[in-house]
Amino acid sequence: MKNRNINSFSLLVIVIGLFYITISCDSFVEVALPSSQLTAATVFEEKATANAAMTDIYSKLRDNSLLTGNGSGINVALGAYTDELEYYGNGTVGTHFFYSNTVLPTDGTIGGWWSAGYNQIYAANAVYEGVNAATKLIQTDKDQLMGEALFVRALVHFHLVNIFGDIPYITTTNYEQNKVVTRMPSADVYSHIITDLETAKALLPTEYFGGLRVRPNRYVAAALLARVYIYQGNYAAAANAATTVINETGTFTLETNLDNTFLKESQSTIWQLIPQVEGRNTDEGATFIFTAGPPSFVAFTNDLINDFEPGDLRKSHWTKAVTNGTNTWYHAYKYKQQTLTGTTVEYSIVFRLSEQYLIRAEARAQLNDIQGATDDLNTIRNLAGLSNTTAANQQDLLSAIMQERRVEFFTESGHRFFDLKRTHQLDNTLSGIKPAWNTSDALLPLPESELLLNPNLQPQNPGY
């Protein structure tokens, strides 16, 4: 190895002081940090600066992670990787390689997801360790911050394991340990995720910090737990976790007007990321909306548009047609703002209530609770202006629920790819659509640069 003796797990150890001193003062941050030099220990002895350290992580999730709404996030990349999005750009942009299923270990998008993910995990670990060691913070503040840090750690690992397969689970800021970590079996990664989320749920309060839904609370942790359990096939636990959120009717309700679902005040939102400054809206709106054809970046596939049933309000409210007089293209229109507005009207939603209904519907169907599954599925269908499902047995219900997820969660957090993968439908669905599709494409390659820095991460995923 050359003189370069750091990797993405431990990059922030070199700049840890700078991290705490120069935390960005955007809309996440309650107060600006003092201009004087601060040690890490000092940061976590004060509530305001400890909160600033934690909220800076959310700004990084919003701007520089696989969850970002811009063109480098999984909303776009995994949509193009599957059957959601057509790509209209040139062949040198990263999205092209996802669309053509020719992603290589040297791909910059892949490397960015990995390095940003582990840097954010490192930052979460730094907050957890610093707050846990603090002597001046009151216990309720310590619990809040440690719970949030564990939630973020679980959230990022969850996405990484579903994209790359076996990965390291990083729980410390110890550089000597992190620079030589090995990959952990995915089942063990899931066990760590669940442990972190159960601990986070116990530590976090039921109310939202500051009243806005931009800092995780107990129900946010439960929402992610429900997703984790359904992916894992633990159906009883998935149903219970989803019910915890659904039953909190004083906080969460389904918006009857679909145009309100993605507004910042939406009562169906469980957790969202606030834009950087007032007046700015989501990167998702700026990324997906186009006003003239042909598109310059991405648009929906005909297969997705044709999968909407007649009368589905999601097609008329959450997609928009653009024509040049000869051809018609459709773009996502869940977020309707693509420019600055006087007051911010849309935040980027990460978890919302509809997912909890469809998680519970799937879990109940798997548990052979046909009536319960039908009721949950119909709740979402009726909201979209559709009649009750005709599915009457377990297998038909499971197929109907997967179809409902397709037209409910398009361009959100890579749901389509993850759903096809976890239900073992990737090959059946994509082999006839993607000429270069291979079974090994269910996993993306580990970044080559990371394998060079830490040979303990070998072997590379099959097919690469």
35 pLDDT more than 60: no
* Structural domains of the chain, count: 2
The radius of gyration of the chain from alpha carbons, rounded to an integer in Å, stands at 22
Tens digit of each residue's pLDDT (9 = 90 or more) over 413-447: 999 999 999 999 999 999 989 989 999 999 999 99
My answer on whether 60 and 169 are in the same domain is yes
User: Is residue 151 one of the residues assigned to a domain?
Assistant: yes
Answer whether 59's CB lies under 8 Å from 24's CB. yes
pLDDT band at 36 (very low <50, low <70, confident <90, very high): very low
My answer on whether 32 and 162 are in the same domain is yes
Which tokens sit at 151?
A: 């939630």
Q: What DSSP designation does 350 have? A: E
Per-residue pLDDT at 93: 79
Tens digit of each residue's pLDDT (9 = 90 or more) over 229-264: 999 999 999 999 999 999 999 999 999 999 999 999
Per-residue pLDDT at 69: 98
User: Is residue 137 one of the residues assigned to a domain?
Assistant: yes
Q: What is the mean pLDDT of residues 144-154?
A: 98
Tens digit of each residue's pLDDT (9 = 90 or more) over 197-240: 999 999 999 999 988 999 999 999 999 999 999 999 999 999 99
Element at 123 (helix H, strand E): helix 108-133
Which tokens sit at 322?
A: 């653009």
User: Is residue 133 one of the residues assigned to a domain?
Assistant: yes
User: Is residue 304 one of the residues assigned to a domain?
Assistant: yes
User: Is residue 449 one of the residues assigned to a domain?
Assistant: no
Q: What is the mean pLDDT of residues 309-336?
A: 98
Per-residue pLDDT at 32: 37
Per-residue pLDDT at 13: 35
pLDDT averaged over the chain?
92
My answer on whether 193 and 325 are in the same domain is no
pTM reported for the whole predicted model: 0.92
% of the chain surpassing 90 pLDDT: 88
My answer on whether 180 and 246 are in the same domain is no
My answer on whether 154 and 299 are in the same domain is no
User: Is residue 455 one of the residues assigned to a domain?
Assistant: no
316 lies in which domain range?
Answer: 238-410
My answer on whether 64 and 139 are in the same domain is yes
Per-residue pLDDT at 200: 98
Tens digit of each residue's pLDDT (9 = 90 or more) over 58-113: 999 999 999 999 999 999 999 999 999 999 998 877 899 999 999 999 999 999 99
User: Is residue 440 one of the residues assigned to a domain?
Assistant: no
pLDDT band at 27 (very low <50, low <70, confident <90, very high): very low
My answer on whether 104 and 24 are in the same domain is yes
Answer whether 410's CB lies under 8 Å from 374's CB. no
More confident residue, 387 or 27: 387
My answer on whether 197 and 255 are in the same domain is no
My answer on whether 68 and 195 are in the same domain is yes
User: Is residue 181 one of the residues assigned to a domain?
Assistant: yes
Per-residue pLDDT at 338: 95
More confident residue, 29 or 106: 106
CATH classification of the domain holding 58: 1.25.40.390
Tens digit of each residue's pLDDT (9 = 90 or more) over 37-53: 345 678 899 999 999 99
186 pLDDT more than 70: yes
Per-residue pLDDT at 404: 98
CA–CA gap between residue 33 and residue 25 (Å, rounded)? 8
Q: What DSSP designation does 45 have? A: T
Per-residue pLDDT at 8: 39
Per-residue pLDDT at 1: 33
My answer on whether 27 and 128 are in the same domain is yes
DSSP string for 297-337: SEEE-HHHHHTSPTT-HHHHHHEEEEE-SS-EEEEE-SS--
My answer on whether 188 and 242 are in the same domain is no
Q: Which residues touch 236 (CB under 8 Å, ≥6 apart)?
A: 363, 367
458 pLDDT more than 80: yes
273 three-class SS? strand
My answer on whether 195 and 246 are in the same domain is no
Helix (DSSP H) and strand (DSSP E) numbers for the chain: 21, 6
